[in-house]
Amino acid sequence: MRILVAEDDPGLRDVLERGLREQGYVVDAVADGRAAENHLRAYDYAAVVLDWRMPERSGVDVLLAARSRGVDAPVLMLTARDSTADRVAGLDAGADDYLVKPFSFDELLARLRALLRRPAATTRPTLACGTVELDPVSRVLTESGRPVVVTATELAIVELLLRRAPGVVDRRTIAIQVWDNEADAVGSNTIDVHVARIRAKLAGSGTRIDTIRGVGYRMAPQ
């Protein structure tokens, strides 16, 4: 899943970017509000980590503009502001959660996981299609209850297909959500190779991955 990190402190931005990448996320990291706004216009993010105070535009201004355009990605607001009034202002602007600096990376990661599973939590705690299930919190993929060993890239593709099932996911969306440089994936057979490996690992299961020629892929029960 692709995550936007907007933080003007270079040290903290680097820690967040490296830490999230180590957890298997694709990360875009920017240093000011204007860049954050441009990225939110260009990409579809699974979640956003947004600093309150940034050059060019504040995090609150970026968030208000994004929500007015219909951007519904969950947003974790970072700030040194600790008053109740400030927290209320951030939440009223459209933030889903609020983290006061300084904080531990483990806490940020836990809050981010909670935000990422929130849309599915009202109906089902796991993502499922046919006999394949994925727990988005533990990142464990199973087929008929048995663990399936996959790489981080394969897991990201499976998660995207499960979240959109039975809808079709186009190749560009897969590239944007799974690879740092989507051009590398779109302009080659990289996606096809990874999908072929996933199919091999799910062979004989009650779930299939269909190729929609000229568009992309979809996951459906057998």
Tens of pLDDT, residue by residue over 24-43, are: 898 999 999 999 999 998 88
What is the pLDDT at residue 34?
Answer: 94
| Cα dihedral value 99, 105, 111, 116, nearest 10 | 120
pLDDT, tens digit, for every residue of 104-130? 999 999 999 888 876 543 444 678 999
pLDDT value of residue 47: 93
Candidate ranges 48-57, 73-82, 183-192; pick with highest mean pLDDT = 48-57
Q: What is the pLDDT of residue 119?
A: 54
Condensed to tens digits (0 to 9), the pLDDT of residues 199-217 reads 999 999 999 999 999 899 9
Confidence of residue 94 (pLDDT cuts 50, 70, 90): confident
Is-contact 79 32, C-beta < 8 A?
no
Contact by Cβ (8 Å): 183, 172: no
| Omega cis (within 30) before 136 | no
Residue-level pLDDT at 43: 84
Decide: 42 and 10 in contact? Cβ < 8 Å.
Answer: no
Indicate the DSSP class of residue 150. Answer: -
